[in-house]
Amino acid sequence: MYDLIEEREFFGKKIGGRQPFFLISGPCVMENKDLLDRVCGEMKAICDDLGIVYIFKSSFDKANRSSINSYRGPGLEEGRKLLDFIKNKYNVPVLTDIHETIQVDPLKDTVDIFQIPAFLSRQTDLIAKAAETGKWVNVKKGQFMAPDDTRHIKTKIQESGSEKYMVTERGASFGYGNLVFDLRGIPMMHKHGIPIVFDGTHSAQLPGAAGNITGGLREFIPHMMRGAVSVGVEGLFMEVHPDPEKALSDATTQFPLAKAKSLLTQLLELDRLVKTKFLED
């Protein structure tokens, strides 16, 4: 069985083994300072209350928008300032996406986890450059990538001198305009000793299904997150917004901020149950 991986250090805590999941969460894109401040403040309070390690996430540039006219974010320099503000005010690790190697150096003194988007999950130079900073690297598994192929991601990061790697599952392409989350992928990737994060919000997407924007089925996010927790993931990824319908990116799949604590409470109970009773080392 490959249910659990070995424990490792993670921002002063432990992940892996029978440790509870950590959470990567925040608004999809940096819309404005007030939004980031509100979301981080509320999510940190929730996670502190529940005993969950919390990492704030938001993107300074959404380079993979469906339409050239869609809002992409404030850009690298303003994004770095916003992440510095959040990090200093709330004393939380911060994560953001990068798309080019030239973005790494300007962000390396601010960002705690570099995230490689799914469509760039095989870009060796980008992964290696991020890993060489000594920061954690979270690679989103491409919708086209088989679970076993994630072992190459691990190797690229290790050969860049780092053991700080994780892979995020966010569904696999299933025909046109649909994604499917295959539960088997988690133990398949665990067999390679990789910490796995499950992205419940992007897994609910319907790529291109809304014409010039990505559609989605937000109502299935809790179901898929419960499924992921039942097979022992190390982390969860959930984009949240106070008013998802008005979000400037991924409006159909961001989870309502007001419902986050209820869902996380439920997931934490399930996580404790499966890791203490049903999963094997």
Please determine, for residue 191, whether its predicted confidence score (pLDDT) is greater than 80.
yes
pTM, to two decimals: 0.96
Neighbour tally for 1: CB within 10 Å: 9
3-state secondary structure the chain: CCCCCCCEEECCEEECCCCCCEEEEECCECCCHHHHHHHHHHHHHHHHHHCCCEEEECECCCCCCCCCCCCCCCCHHHHHHHHHHHHHHHCCCEEEECCCHHHHHHHCCCCCEEEECHHHCCCHHHHHHHHCCCCEEEEECCCCCCHHHHHHHHHHHHCCCCCCEEEEECCEECCCCCEECCCCHHHHHHCCCCCEEEECCHHHEECCCCCCCCEECHHHHHHHHHHHHHCCCCEEEEEEECCHHHCCCCCCCCEEHHHHHHHHHHHHHHHHHHHHHCCCC
Q: Calculate mean pLDDT across residues 60-78.
A: 86
Condensed to tens digits (0 to 9), the pLDDT of residues 34-67 reads 999 999 999 999 999 999 999 999 999 988 766 7
Least confident of 59-68, 113-122, 158-167, 188-197: 59-68
Q: Which residue has the tokens 């039942």?
A: 230
Residue 176 — very low, low, confident or very high, per pLDDT cuts 50/70/90? confident
Domains located in the chain, CATH noted: 14-275 (3.20.20.70)
Condensed to tens digits (0 to 9), the pLDDT of residues 201-232 reads 999 999 865 555 678 999 999 999 999 999 99
